[in-house]
Amino acid sequence: MGDKDLGFVGLGIMGKPMAKNLINAGYSVTVYDISATSIEEMATYGASPASSAREVAEKAPVVITMVPDSSDSETAILGPNGVLEGASEGDTVIDMSSIAPATSQKIAALCEAQSVDFLDAPVSGGEPKAIDGTLAVMVGGKSSVFDKYENLINVMASSVVLCGNYGAGNTTKLANQIIVAANIEALAEALVLSKKAGLDPNVVFEAIRGGLAGSTVMEAKAPMMIAGDFNPGFRIRLHQKDLHNALLTGKDLGVPLPVTSIVQQMLGALINGGKADSDHSAIANFLEDMAQSKISGS
């Protein structure tokens, strides 16, 4: 096995383009996902298919995992036929999933007990930046391990920052998700108000985007709200999960998160309304329903 041998577990909306970018960069990538269709697509792209996360780890000294939530990371890495069952002393696991910081710390401890290095390295940027290879990556772990794999992570990213020890990457990601959620909610409130006042949301967007209210969130989500296009780049159910993890972490640390709590409840209501797989910009739908006024349309 050479320096270019990698494993990748989790080929969803984010994982698939990330794995493709690694292949494009010349890495030999062995892949596994619970979806056989995703494995087949990646095999067509040049990846080597595996039948389990364990087999991925047996074939590659470095395994990246990219799965939805804490329980999925535990299953993929610690569970039966998981990464640690196939890993050897000196191997490395890089979990790029967005999970609870305490779970990252648990996984790290069990990896260390097996002499396997670990980084928690969640990402921000959604599907477009996963495709472009311009994700922001927040990393927790030992600086010596980070230094070894920073260039690898940079293949998928435009920003890679070591935030602290185990769990620090996911704590930083939770901070990121709080800000994104609150921005989307505020943007939706503003556009619903503007539309019900008889203004053209496109004009309002153009008028304010260059000022202090302008943001990356506004640039990405205002056009979606105005068009009524909520095809997912990042699904409501996943953002609700992130805010749930933020609230649990806040509870553990004694940090009230009142706005986070309100937006998390909005996301929960949208999930109950059948919109779990809509883009998180569909927070606008909750506010549109309350105001009986749609941002899109005449």
Q: Tens digit of pLDDT for each residue in 251-279?
A: 999 999 999 999 999 999 999 999 999 99
pLDDT higher than threshold 70 for residue 1: no
Averaged confidence pLDDT in the chain: 97
The reply to whether 173 belongs to the active site is yes
Give the pLDDT confidence of 200-223 residue by residue, as tens digits. Answer: 999 999 999 999 999 999 999 999
- Whether 62 contacts 152, CB under 8 Å: yes
CA-closest candidate to residue 282, choices 296, 267, 264:
267
Q: What is the pLDDT of residue 2?
A: 59
Give the distance, in angstroms, between the CA of residue 173 and the centroid of all CA atoms in the same chain: 8
Alpha-helix residue ranges (DSSP H) falling in 11-124: 15-24, 36-45, 53-59, 70-78, 83-86, 101-113
Confidence of residue 298 (pLDDT cuts 50, 70, 90): confident
Give the pLDDT confidence of 66-90 residue by residue, as tens digits. Answer: 999 999 999 999 999 999 999 999 9
Topology of domain 171-291 in CATH is N-(1-d-carboxylethyl)-l-norvaline Dehydrogenase; domain 2 (1.10.1040)
Q: Let me know if 287 is exposed, middle or buried by CB neighbors in 10 A (0-12, 13-18, 19+).
A: buried
| Cα–Cα distance measured from residue 15 to residue 94, given in angstroms and rounded to the nearest whole number | 13
| CATH hierarchy code of domain 5-166 | 3.40.50.720
Selecting among 16, 106, 129, 173, the annotated active-site residue is: 173
% of the chain surpassing 90 pLDDT = 95
pLDDT higher than threshold 70 for residue 94: yes
Give the pLDDT confidence of 146-202 residue by residue, as tens digits. Answer: 999 999 999 999 999 999 999 999 999 999 999 999 999 999 999 999 999 999 999
Structural domain boundaries of the chain?
5-166, 171-291
CA-closest candidate to residue 236, choices 274, 269, 278, 265:
278
Give the pLDDT confidence of 222-250 residue by residue, as tens digits. Answer: 999 999 999 988 899 999 999 999 999 99
